[in-house]
Chain A
Amino acid sequence: MPDWKQEVDVMIDAGKISVPYSWTVGTTLSRFYCELRDNGKIWANRCPECGNVFVPPKVKCINCYQDLNDWLELPGTGTVETFTVVRYQEPTLHPRPAPFVYGIIKMDGADTGLLHFIDEIEPEKVKVGMRVEAVLEDERDGNILDIKYFRPVK
C-alpha cells in the first residue's frame, strides 16, 4: 500500500437526508380508514370474479385484476395465523416498547390476513390458532393504528 494511504486520517461525513412526505391515501383506502375512524368499522372488498375478499381492501383483485366495487363489513374477529415476540428496541420505528407481539390475523369473512399487534396476553402464552378480536382506540386518526391491537376472545 502506498505510504500516503497509511497516514490519512479517514473521515466520516454524517449526513441526514431531509425529504418530507405526505402520501395520498387514495380512494380505496380512504374509504376504509374513514369507516374505521368515524364508525369504528372494519370493511373489506370482494372480487366479482373469484369471490376473494380482501382486508385491507384493494384497488384490483390480485388474482383477476378486476375492479373491486363490492364492499362488506367484517365482524373484526379472526384467527392467529402466525406471530412473533419482538425483543429488540427500535424506538424510531416501533410504536410500543419491546417485548411486544406482532401477529398476522386471518380475519373472519375475508381471505387475507391482517398484520397487527396482539396484546392483553403474556407473549409466552400466544398460540397459533388462537381466536382474537380487534380493539379500537377511543380517539382515532384514520390509519392502521386506529386499531390498538387484537386481544384473545373471551
Chain B
Amino acid sequence: MEKVAIIGVGQTKYERNKPETFAELVFEATSKALEDAGISKDDVDNVVSVSSDFWDGRTISSMAISDASNAYGKDITTVEGDGTFGALYGMMRILSGSFGVTLVCAHHKGTESNIKGITNCAFDPLVERKLGIDAISSAALQARRYMNRYGVSEEQLALVSVKNHGNAMRNPLALLPMDITVADVMGSRKVADPLKLLDCSPVTDGACTLVLAAERPAKKLCTNKKRVWLRGVGHCSDAYRLGDRDLSDTRALKDAARRAYAMAGINDPRADVDLAEVYDAFSYMELMWLEGLGFCGDGEAGEQMERGIFNFDGELPVNPSGGRLSAHPVQVAGLQAMAECVLQLRGEAGDRQLNTPETALVHGINGMCGQSHCVWILGK
C-alpha cells in the first residue's frame, strides 16, 4: 500500500458554549493545521468535511463550513459519522491516485444541540424510538450486560474516569480536567444505572482539522519531523437494533482491529503499540474497547486498570489526552484523538508527552453502543 502521512494538525480548545459559529471554529482549526504543516491553502487539492445534519440542525451541514474549510474551488465531500471514518475516506481518495493532499475537518457544538433528542433519533422510529431510548440509557444497558457477563465492578469503571480526567490536567485543550477519586465517581449523581454522572462524557464544542498527504507531496511539503504515517486501518459495523446483538460482544471491533493490525504488520498489539486513544464516551466503554482491541483478554481490562497498566505512567498509556470523558465533541472526537497521537509521536505533546512513543492506536466509534468501529495505527 502506498504510504500516506498526516502532515498537519489543528485543534480549537474544547469548551462549552463557545461563541464562535461552526464556520469560525472550522476556520480556526483549519488555519492552525495549515500553519502546522507549513503549507499554503493552495497545496490542498481536496477536502473531506465530517459534518452531521442532525447535530448542526441544518440540512447539508457541510455547506455552512465549506468556505471556512478551504473548500472553495476544490473537490469536496462529506462523511457523516466519527472523524476516524472521515480520515479513512480522506486516505482512500489519496490512495486512488486522484489526489495528493486531503484536508479532513470536523466541527461540533454540542451545547447548541439537545443530545437526548438527537441521539433518540438514531433509533428506529418504527421500533425503538417511541420508547424514548437515547445514547445514555442505551449505554447503560450495554454497561450492565458487560459488567454482568464478566463480573466487572462499578469501581473498576470509576478508575477509567479518575485516570482520564486526571490525564486531562496535562492537556490545555481539554474541557474537563479534574483531580478526582473513585469515591467521587461513585458518589456522583445516578443517571441511568449503573452509570453515574462521572461515568459519562460531557457535552462539548470544538473543531479539529488534519492534513493528509501522499508520500511524495508529504516529503516535498514538510520535514520528517512533522510526518506521521498512517500504517493501518480497518472498519466494521455490527447489527443495528440493540436486541440484534449481544451488547457485550466486541466482534465488530475485533474485525476492524484485525484489518488494521494486518495492514500495519502488528502481531502483538500489547507489545507493539506504545499508546492508544480509544473512544471512551462512557467509562465502561474504555474497558470493553481495550479488550476488543486485543490489549488484554475479554473481561480482563478492569483488573488491569486496577494494576495501573493503562495509566499515564503505565505499561500501555490509554487516553493520555484525557479521552472523550474529558472532552467529547461528537464527530470531531476521532480526529481529535488522531491529532493527539500525531503530537505524541512527534514529541510535541507538551506536558502530556509520553516517553518517545513510536506506534499509536486510534479508535473511533459510530452509532449507538459502539455499533460501528474504525481502528487506525499511526507510526513515525
A and B touch in the complex (CB under 8 A): yes
From A29, A84, A92, give the contact of B126 (CB < 8 A): A29
Q: Which residue of B lies closest to A17 (CB)?
A: B57
Q: Is the CB of B192 within 8 A of A115?
A: no
A82 with B141, Cβ < 8 A, contacts A10-B19, A113-B242, A113-B243 known: yes
- B58 — which chain A residues lie within 8 A by C-beta? 17
The yes or no answer to B297 lying at the interface (CB within 8 A) is: no
A87-107 interface (Cβ within 8 A of B): 87-88, 90, 92-95, 102-106
The yes or no answer to B137 lying at the interface (CB within 8 A) is: yes
User: SS class of chain A's interface: helix, strand, loop or mixed?
Assistant: mixed
The yes or no answer to B42 lying at the interface (CB within 8 A) is: no
Smallest Cβ distance from B165 to chain A, in angstroms? 21
CA distance A84 to B196 in the complex (A): 12
Q: Which residue of B lies closest to A88 (CB)?
A: B191
A23 with B125, Cβ < 8 A, contacts A94-B132, A115-B242, A117-B131 known: yes
Q: Is the CB of A84 within 8 A of B193?
A: yes
Q: Which residue of B lies closest to A21 (CB)?
A: B125
Smallest Cβ distance from A7 to chain B, in angstroms? 14
The yes or no answer to A128 lying at the interface (CB within 8 A) is: yes
Smallest Cβ distance from A124 to chain B, in angstroms? 9
Q: 0/1 per residue, B329-370, Cβ < 8 Å to A?
A: 000000000000000000000000000000000000000000
Q: Is the CB of A85 within 8 A of B241?
A: no
The yes or no answer to B226 lying at the interface (CB within 8 A) is: no
The yes or no answer to A121 lying at the interface (CB within 8 A) is: no
- B192 — which chain A residues lie within 8 A by C-beta? 84-88
Q: Is the CB of B132 within 8 A of A83?
A: no
- A106 — which chain B residues lie within 8 A by C-beta? 243
Q: Is the CB of B144 within 8 A of A83?
A: yes
- B120 — which chain A residues lie within 8 A by C-beta? 93
A82 with B144, Cβ < 8 A, contacts A104-B243, A112-B244, A113-B243 known: yes
Smallest Cβ distance from A126 to chain B, in angstroms? 9
The yes or no answer to B140 lying at the interface (CB within 8 A) is: yes
Smallest Cβ distance from B372 to chain A, in angstroms? 14
The yes or no answer to A144 lying at the interface (CB within 8 A) is: yes
Q: Is the CB of A62 within 8 A of B141?
A: no
Smallest Cβ distance from B255 to chain A, in angstroms? 15
- Residue in A10, A56, A88 with the greatest tally of chain B CB atoms within 10 Å: A88
The yes or no answer to A130 lying at the interface (CB within 8 A) is: no
- A82 — which chain B residues lie within 8 A by C-beta? 141-142, 144-145, 148, 247
Q: 0/1 per residue, A11-34, Cβ < 8 Å to B?
A: 000010100010101100100000
Q: 0/1 per residue, A103-137, Cβ < 8 Å to B?
A: 11110000011111100000100001000000000
Q: 0/1 per residue, A38-63, Cβ < 8 Å to B?
A: 00000000000000001010000010
- A-B pairs with beta carbons under 8 Å apart, 23 shown: A21-B125, A25-B126, A56-B127, A81-B243, A81-B246, A82-B142, A84-B194, A84-B195, A85-B190, A86-B192, A87-B191, A88-B191, A90-B132, A90-B134, A102-B133, A102-B137, A102-B141, A106-B243, A115-B127, A115-B128, A117-B131, A128-B144, A144-B127
Known: A26-B126, A115-B133. 9 other contacts (CB 8 A): A21-B125, A93-B120, A93-B134, A94-B132, A95-B130, A114-B243, A115-B242, A117-B131, A145-B130
Binding site for A on B (CB under 8 A): 19, 57-58, 116-117, 120, 125-128, 130-134, 136-137, 140-145, 148, 190-195, 239, 241-244, 246-247
Binding site for B on A (CB under 8 A): 10, 15, 17, 21, 23, 25-26, 29, 54, 56, 62, 81-88, 90, 92-95, 102-106, 112-117, 123, 128, 143-145
